[in-house]
Amino acid sequence: LNLIRNAGVVYMVGADITSFEMAHNIIAKAGSLIALIALLFLTFKIVPELYNEILCIFDLPKRNGPVENFFAEFLGKTKK
C-alpha cells in the first residue's frame, strides 16, 4: 500500500498535477486513512471475535487485576 501511495505522489508531482506538499500531506495521507479504515472493516468481517477483544479493553479500568484480587483474598474481602 505504501508503494502505491509513493508512486501516486511521484506521478502527481512529476506530471505537474499538484505540488509535492499537496500530493503528500493531503491527498496521499487521506488515501492512506481511507485504506486503513477499509482494512479495519475487512479484518473485523473476517475475524469478528477480534472486535469483541478490542472492546474489552475499555472494560479494563472497571475490573480488578491480580494485585487487587490478592489483597482482597488476603484481607478476606470478597467482591459482590
- Report the alpha-carbon distance of residue 68 to residue 37 in Å, rounded: 37
Q: Which domain holds residue 58?
A: 2-74
Structural domain contains residue 80: no
Structural domain contains residue 46: yes
- Please state the pTM of the whole predicted model: 0.59
Show the CA angle centred on residue 32, arms to residues 15 and 39, nearest 5°. Answer: 140
Question: Percentage helix, strand, coil, to 5, in the chain?
Answer: 80, 0, 20
Structural domain contains residue 47: yes
- Report the alpha-carbon distance of residue 64 to residue 72 in Å, rounded: 10
- Report the alpha-carbon distance of residue 25 to residue 67 in Å, rounded: 46
Structural domain contains residue 53: yes
The pLDDT value recorded for residue 71 is: 86
Q: What's the rounded mean pLDDT across residues 48-69?
A: 86
The pLDDT value recorded for residue 45 is: 93
What is the per-residue pLDDT across 22-55, written as a single tens digit (0 to 9) for each?
Answer: 999 899 999 999 999 999 999 999 998 998 888 8
Instruction: Provide the number of structural domains found in the chain.
Output: 1
